[in-house]
Amino acid sequence: LYDDRLELFLGSTALMTLQRGRAGPKGKHGHVINYRHVIHALRRKPMALLNLVYRDQIFPREAFRLSFDRLLEQLPERQACRTMVELLSLAHEHNCEAQLAQALQQCLDDGQLPDLDALCSRFEAKRTNSMPEVNVQLAPLSDYEALLDDMTREVTA
């Protein structure tokens, strides 16, 4: 635990480093939230997003918050929450937060609601195409046997 970061370890292995957030100037009860830490719980209960205490802080970019406001204006609450949680999940799972925010902003500028199916197919397609195919060829066991035989000869000599 440092003043500016949190370092996470499993045993002696460093897993990740998180920048430590600070509450704003409004007071000591501010929230610093990373949506990636709560997205799995929200997927199980998407309506929790509606009355979440730190709802405004959960959105990673302004376009996400504005999209949620637009969804709430034009759709039933249940559908708006489900759509927004799925959009956050898409950003998390496909690591496309910035690109998705641009697409959401474009929808807002055009006066349209985000089309979840179109956005999912757009970003899922990019992910599958960018993954390289890796072929692993294992060495034959006879090579290991030869190494062991050589080591045995050296030890006995």
- Does a structural domain hold residue 66? yes
Question: Is residue 95 situated within a structural domain?
Answer: yes
CB 109 within 8 A of CB 101: no
pLDDT confidence of 1, banded at 50, 70, 90? low
* 82 in any annotated domain: yes
- Report the C-alpha gap between 62 and 75 in whole angstroms: 20
In a domain, 88, yes or no: yes
Q: Which domain holds residue 126?
A: 33-131
In a domain, 155, yes or no: no
| Residue scoring higher pLDDT (100 or 13) | 100
Residue 13 is assigned to a structural domain of this protein = no
Whether residue 93 lies inside any domain: the answer is: yes
- Closest by Cα among 55, 63, 62, 15 to 38: 55
Residues 12-62 pLDDT 10s = 888 888 777 766 666 666 667 788 889 999 999 999 999 888 888 889 899
Number of domains in the chain: 1
- 14 φ/ψ angles, rounded to the nearest 5 degrees: -75, 125
CB atoms within 10 A of CB 20: 12
Tell me the whole-structure pTM to 2 decimals: 0.68
Question: Could you report the per-residue pLDDT of 115-134, keeping only the tens digit for each?
Answer: 989 998 888 766 555 667 87
